[in-house]
Amino acid sequence: MIYFDNAATTRVYDEAIKTMDKVCGEEYFNPSSTYPGGIAAKKIITEARASVAFALNCSPNAIYFTSCATEANNWALTCGLKNKKGNIVVGSGEHACVYECAKALKSSGVDVRFVPLDSNGIVTPEALYSVMDENTGLVSIMHVSNETGVINDLPALTATAKTISPRCVFHSDGVQAYLKIDNDVLKNGVDLYSLSGHKIGAPKGVGALYISPKLNIRPFIYGGGQESGLRSGTENVAGIAALGVATRIYRERHDNARIVKNRTLLINELKNIPSVKIIAENAPNTGMITSFTALGTKAEIVQTLCAADGVIIGRGSACSSKLSGNRVLSAMGISQKEIDGALRIGLSPETTPEEIIRAVEVIRTNVEKLRGGRIG
């Protein structure tokens, strides 16, 4: 099998699995307990926190573990607005967990404004400027699009936001950016930054939120006071430990030059298929996600046929794949005809050129079957 849906989830690294097994079988103590076993469990969390903090170039005390990025993003939006005052500005291309949370806040009476995307799916400083004002209290713009892999210019966006409303809190969903591009939170100027474990070889069920030490954010979950009193609940020690290990491994294996070569090869191979169009081809991209549309086909059918041939590819955001249409691609001005055939390929640091060539061969064969009327 060739697995090219790494933007949806990744295979858990063997080293992370071994770490989880050891924690669950031998070091299973409650990290809040004060006897040696509990202290040892707490140390495991501390080491993982340091691993994530190193990747973001921040203090370990600024990292708060969550159950997933959806929780981290909801925490940022619901608790990030200082004194619950001011309007909230959100990108139109955000992941569903941010977009739907923003819609819920809007329904409750909060002044929520959505920033339009350009044709590449990017939020430009000019677009952000057009919807913000001095009363904006929170801005949430994703670092990298989960649909297309395009990169938003965080330093430029945070500078724009802070110029218009110096008191505003800037949040960024960094799920598809974490370890794939420069995640220096200080350089990027963000106050809140979310990440997920299962996008980088850690298991599902663990994520994290960076919270700037300058920010006085409200607790998200009340209880026993874990995570410095901001996110109560007994910690998922095994998952957190695996996230720390996966962070180290992914950083070691991510070769940017190799990623660029793989994406170039992938695009060139895809463009050899008649009527295939690369979405946002020339926009800044991590190299890990490539979206394209095969005109005259139905994406779900191509996806199913490819899976039967041993090639797994995505169809936009996995979290929203059961919904009709594609909100993000529509916001980019892409036609419904193009959206109908839109597919997403998510590579990994381990992807080989041979896998890319074979996968595109399978895609081509199935696209041609559909266009020839032999199926469907």
Name the H helices within the chain.
Answer: 14-25, 36-56, 69-79, 96-107, 125-131, 154-164, 185-188, 237-253, 256-270, 299-308, 327-331, 336-340, 353-371
Query: What distance in Å separates the CA atoms of residue 275 and residue 272, rounded to the nearest whole number?
Result: 9
Report the greatest alpha carbon distance in the chain: 69
Query: What distance in Å separates the CA atoms of residue 76 and residue 1, rounded to the nearest whole number?
Result: 38
Give just the sign of the alpha carbon dihedral 239, 240, 245, 248.
positive
Closest CA to 356 of 259, 252, 251: 259
Catalytic residue among 58, 101, 168, 319: 319
Backbone angles phi, psi at 44, to 5 degrees: -60, -45
Query: What distance in Å separates the CA atoms of residue 80 and residue 138, rounded to the nearest whole number?
Result: 7
* Number of neighbours of residue 229 by Cβ within 10 angstroms: 11
Query: What distance in Å separates the CA atoms of residue 38 and residue 61, rounded to the nearest whole number?
Result: 20
**Residue 294 DSSP class:** E
What type of residue is 105? L
Pair of tokens at residue 267: 């695009």
Pair of tokens at residue 13: 């690294």
* Number of neighbours of residue 192 by Cβ within 10 angstroms: 27
Query: What distance in Å separates the CA atoms of residue 150 and residue 289, rounded to the nearest whole number?
Result: 8
Angle at 9 between CA 4 and CA 15, to 5 degrees: 100
Rg (C-alpha) for the chain, rounded Å, is 21
Is residue 211 helix, strand or coil? strand
24 is catalytic: no
Query: What distance in Å separates the CA atoms of residue 295 and residue 341, rounded to the nearest whole number?
Result: 6
Catalytic residue IDs:
319
